[in-house]
Chain A
Amino acid sequence: MDLNTQREHFIDVMAKFTGYAGKHLPDDVIAKLEELRSQEDTPMAKLVYDAMFDDLKMAHELNRPACQDTGVIQYFVQVGSKFPMIDEIESCLVEAVKKATIESPLRHNCVEIFDEKNTGNNVGTRIPWIDWEVVPHNDEVKIYMYMAGGGCSLPGTAKVLMPLEGYDGAVKFIFDQITSYGINACPPLLVGIGIAGSVEVAAKLSKKALLRPIGTHNSNTRGAELEAMIEKGLNDIEIGPGGLTGKNSVMGVNIEQAGRHPATIAVGLSTGCWAHRRALIKFDSSLEYEIISHKGAVL
């Protein structure tokens, strides 16, 4: 394949993949929602879960975005330093978003700062947002696609605490935010927490935590315990689907960390809604692809 054909193929696959992920939730999210749904026994909670599953079924049958807010498109790229198309990825992703906006279709969700005009194609200054990680001695690329909806981005926050406020301070901060802003973010939520030394690192890690599948654990034993404690604690508050009360509040709590400065503990929070549109695709060096997040997906 010459470069142009390769680009066309890559753009086409990424456009279809992006659209697909707006119409179908990843396997781990579906499994968790089914589990949570089965635990509910009040008419209100059942009504909301019924609506969600009816919606997913219709989204599949009619080939439409499950939620109208298809978000600002974000790609988290883990690229091997030897991936042959490394120079093309960024421009191809931009083209893929334009294409998906028309073909899927996606809602127009990019408003330029200061000009306050909607660009109408989901592409704008630094949008789609692309996050890069380079993997040495590797010739593949893994790309996470995430639709950052408005409702689920709204609870996002980060703060730098003093060490003597300790982890207590971080825990309080998280709970205050989830019991206020979280209620409107279409629970059950996936809660992403980043803990680090400065605000931007914590914030970024909180979003990366949302990319980790539900049911996986923090690499540190205490971290994993803290995830479990916060998850149980939030569930005991019984926010329920749609914030209308129920047996649970969250699909999970994922924490990611980076070393901190001795004088600071920064904590970041990102939330994913029940329609957690996160998808993962892998391309090898000959551009053969595999969709990891959605088993059996056909683009």
Chain B
Amino acid sequence: MSKKILTTPIKNEDLESLTIGDVVFLNGYLVTSRDDVHHRHITQGKELPVDLAGKAIFHAGPIMQEKKDEPGKYEVISIGPTTSMRMEKLQKEFIEATGLKLVVGKGGMGPKTAEACQANKTVHTVFPGGCAVLAASRVEEVESVEWLDLGMPEAMWVMRVKEFGPLIVSIDTKGNNLFEKNKAMFNEKKETVVAEIIKHVDYLD
């Protein structure tokens, strides 16, 4: 199987053939945007310092280190995804406002995001959680940082990446949602499992 690679600026056609469970890699611009960036832009209405149209955002709060010989320039030490569900409240509005094309995070997102992905031809993917040095090794350069006053984890880090992945498609442009599907399966099995266990735990005298 050949490696499927998406390159920014990502076009709708690049995404339309993708289905949940597919594995892709990313070339180009990946910009960290998490809780505070969503909050500042959508809830507080502040203009974003980075144009995200056609680009990918990363739900991530990295460890960055300022280069000793180049003040203001940073090197990424460790960068893995954070729980995407925290952004569920504002993700739809953020997608609509920016025209971003790819979301990289961890774990699933809800129906509101799935709706926005379908309407705006955007895809949510997950990078294996916790694998932060692996992810850092796919970053070619940290080009700039914006909104650093939010602190290192919450700032917008603008990175150029090469074959960044594996990225597992969790919400596709058809509105399919991998984690919702999995969750339904887990819940079904849970009922049987719990019913069996509680037969054995009547410890009260």
Contact flag A243-B202 (CB < 8 Å), given A55-B132, A109-B153, A186-B129: no
Does B124 touch A at the CB level, under 8 Å? no
Using a CB-CB cutoff of 8 Å, which residues 5-59 of chain A contact chain B?
Answer: 44, 47-48, 51-52, 54-55, 58-59
Mask: chain A, 216-229; 1 = CB below 8 Å from B; 0 = not = 00000010011001
Cα of A180 to Cα of B184 in the assembled complex, Å: 10
Q: Which chain A residues border B63 with CB–CB below 8 Å?
A: 64-65, 68, 70, 105-107
Which residue of the partner chain, among B85, B134, B194, contacts A184 with CB atoms under 8 Å?
B85
Q: Which chain B residues border A68 with CB–CB below 8 Å?
A: 60-63, 77-80, 132
| B204 CB, min distance to chain A CBs, angstroms | 6
Count of chain B residues with a beta carbon within 8 Å of a chain A beta carbon: 53
> Contact at A51–B131, with CB atoms within 8 Å?
yes
Cα of A35 to Cα of B26 in the assembled complex, Å: 31
> Contact at B137–A58, with CB atoms within 8 Å?
yes
> Contact at B133–A59, with CB atoms within 8 Å?
yes
Q: Which chain B residues border A242 with CB–CB below 8 Å?
A: 106, 126, 128-129
Cα of A13 to Cα of B107 in the assembled complex, Å: 36
> Residue of B at shortest CB range from A265?
B204
Interface of B is mostly: mixed
| B198 CB, min distance to chain A CBs, angstroms | 4
Mask: chain B, 108-141; 1 = CB below 8 Å from A; 0 = not = 1000000000000000001011111110110000
Does B176 touch A at the CB level, under 8 Å? no
Contact flag A229-B202 (CB < 8 Å), given A69-B82, A108-B151: no
Mask: chain A, 278-297; 1 = CB below 8 Å from B; 0 = not = 00000000000000000000
Cα of A68 to Cα of B58 in the assembled complex, Å: 13
Does B196 touch A at the CB level, under 8 Å? yes
Q: Which chain B residues border A52 with CB–CB below 8 Å?
A: 128, 130-131
Cα of A69 to Cα of B60 in the assembled complex, Å: 9
Contact flag A69-B80 (CB < 8 Å), given A151-B129, A243-B107: yes
| B156 CB, min distance to chain A CBs, angstroms | 15
Which residue of the partner chain, among A107, A166, A185, contacts B152 with CB atoms under 8 Å?
A107
Q: Which chain B residues border A183 with CB–CB below 8 Å?
A: 107-108, 179, 182-183, 186
> Contact at A44–B190, with CB atoms within 8 Å?
no
Name B's A-contacting residues (CB within 8 A).
21, 23, 60-63, 65, 77-80, 82-85, 106-108, 126, 128-134, 136-137, 151-154, 166, 168, 178-179, 182-183, 185-187, 189-190, 193-194, 196-198, 200-204
18 contacts between A and B (CB under 8 A): A44-B21, A55-B128, A59-B78, A64-B77, A65-B133, A68-B61, A68-B77, A118-B152, A151-B82, A163-B204, A167-B201, A183-B182, A185-B83, A237-B193, A242-B128, A242-B129, A274-B130, A275-B130
